[in-house]
Amino acid sequence: MKPVVWSVQELAEMVRKRTNNYFDSNIAVSGLRGIGKSTFLWKFFHKFSDFNMKDKFTTRRKRMIDLIRKHKYSYCWNDELISVGSKRTFFDKEQNELIHVLTKYRNHFNIVGGAVPFFFTLDKELLKLFGMHIHIIARGIGVVHLPREEGRMYTEDLWDTKINKKLEEKWSKKLQENPDFKIPHHRYTTFAGYVYFGPMTEKQEKVYEELKAEERGDNEVEEDEQEQKESFYERTLRMIKEGKLDEKGLLQICLFNDKKLSNVKVRLNQMLKDEGESRTLKDFLKEKKKNNDTNNLHNNSVLKKLNKMDM
C-alpha cells in the first residue's frame, strides 16, 4: 500500500477545516538547519489568503503570546520555537505563560506554526498541545506526523515516543552497518504521509530575511531589558545579604522599580536556593530587624546616660 502524499495546499485546507470545526491548530516543523523548515512554513502560511507575514511573523515568545491571546481565527508563525518552547525552569514566567496561553485560548482557533531543530526538545507540556508535526528529511520533502489521541486514557504520551525511539535505535544500527539503508518513515506509529514543496523565490527569500533580521533586532532589545531586570535582583540580593535592607527598605525599592513585592520575594528566595544558601529571605530580613532593634536599644541606652550626665 502506497503512503499518503499531501500537497501543502491539502494540509492547509485540512488545518482550516479544524479551525472551522472549533479545534485549535498548533503545528511544529522540525529538521536540521538549512534543510527547509522556514521554506515549508512560508509555503504553508501563504496558502491562506488573509495571512499577512509582516503582522504574524515572529521569533519572540512575548510577541507569540500576544498574537495568540489578542487574536481569533488568525495566525502566528514563530521561526525560532526552540528559544521559545524549549524545556523550561520552574520559575521561567514567560515559558509557563506560553503554555497557559496556548491552553486557555484554544477557543481563539488560531493557526500556530513554529520551526524547531528537534521536536522532542520542546517542553513536554507543549508537546501535548501540538496537533501536527512535520519533520523535514530533505529539501522539499517532509514527513507528516499526527498524535495518537484515540484510545488514550491512561497515558500522556500521544506521540508514542518510547515505541518510536526503539524503532530509531534499530534503524541507527542498520545505518551504521549500511550507509545506503533507507529509513522506513512509514513505520513510525505517528506517520500520516509525506508532503512535497518547492523552494522560495529570490523575492520571497529577501522578504523573509529582512523580516527575520528585524525580529532579531527587537529580540536583542528584549534580551538587554531582561539583563537589566536580572541586575535589579542581583543588586537587591547583595544588599540584603550585606544587611543593608530590611522589609521596609525592600518594599521601597520594589515600589521605586515598579515591581510587586510578593513576586520579588519569590525570585530572591529561588536565587538563594540556587546558590545553596540554607537561609531564606525571611531569615535575612529577620536578622536585619534584630540588628536594628539591638542598635535602637543601644542608642536609647546611650541617650539616657548622656541625659543623666547633663543633669
Statement to judge: residues 252 and 190 lie in one domain = no
CATH number, domain containing residue 61: 3.40.50.300
What whole-number percentage of the chain has pLDDT above 70? 85
Looking at 168, 200, 232, the residue that finishes a domain is 200
Residue 264, phi then psi, degrees to nearest 5: -65, -40
- Cell triple for 285: 530580613
Looking at the 3D structure of the chain, how many domains does it have? 2
Residue with the three cell numbers 496558502 = 47
At residue 164 the predicted structure's pLDDT band, cuts being 50, 70 and 90, is very high
Statement to judge: residues 152 and 246 lie in one domain = no
Statement to judge: residues 251 and 124 lie in one domain = no
Statement to judge: residues 59 and 178 lie in one domain = yes
- Could you tell me which residues come within 8 angstroms of residue 24 by beta carbon, excluding any fewer than 6 positions away? 18, 102, 106, 107, 108, 109, 110, 112, 129, 131
Q: What is the pLDDT of residue 87?
A: 60
Sign of CA pseudo-dihedral 237, 238, 242, 245: negative
pLDDT in tens, 81-127: 876 655 655 445 666 778 889 999 999 999 999 999 899 888 888 89
Q: What is the pLDDT of residue 74?
A: 97
Tell me which residue range forms the domain holding 286. Answer: 221-301
